[in-house]
Amino acid sequence: MNIHVKALTRYAALNGTLDELSHEQRMQAIADRKEFGTVYVAKKGCGYERAALALRFMHEVCNIPLAQACAFFIRMIGESGAFRLKQLVPASWIASQFLEEAGNILVAEATAALYCAAAQGTPWGRYWQTVLETVRCGQRVD
């Protein structure tokens, strides 16, 4: 298991149930929950913000260089096809979802940038570029 997958597994244990974990993983998850509380926990069980939170966890906690962590997530989003929406919605709606879920413009922008990079060279590339531009240039959301 490479360092990126190991870090993502650790992040998943921080956010998920302890039932399926080995003893070592369970002990690490308990220690992580005590030390980090809810700093890296997504408000929604699953949502767009999780990518940025996991990226931050990989960098800040697991000491993976930010550029490596970004490249890993871009590849994961691309390979999983997570940038493909089941139903096309306005880019402004996705941008507002990012802002709402993240509660922070910097996290929303980072998330949009990951999806945009993953979608480059696909029919979805322009759509995600519009989402990213909307997050960067849109109206302030209170």
- Tens digits of per-residue pLDDT, 39-88? 888 776 556 767 888 899 999 999 999 999 999 999 999 999 999 999 88
Q: Report the predicted TM-score, pTM, of the whole model to 2 decimal places.
A: 0.83
Domain that holds residue 78: 3-137
CA pair distance 130, 119, nearest whole angstrom: 12
CA pair distance 74, 94, nearest whole angstrom: 18
Are 109 and 94 spatial neighbours (Cβ–Cβ below 8 Å)? no
Q: What's the mean per-residue pLDDT of the chain? A: 87
Are 121 and 80 spatial neighbours (Cβ–Cβ below 8 Å)? no
Q: Does residue 121 lie in a domain region?
A: yes
Residue type, 20: E
At residue 1 the predicted structure's pLDDT band, cuts being 50, 70 and 90, is low
Q: Does residue 124 lie in a domain region?
A: yes
Q: Does residue 98 lie in a domain region?
A: yes
Residue type, 129: Q
- Position with higher pLDDT, 3 vs 100: 3
User: Is residue 134 packed enough to be buried (19+ CB in 10 Å), middle (13-18) or exposed (0-12)?
Assistant: buried
Are 130 and 112 spatial neighbours (Cβ–Cβ below 8 Å)? no
Question: How many folded domains does the chain comprise?
Answer: 1
Q: Does residue 142 lie in a domain region?
A: no
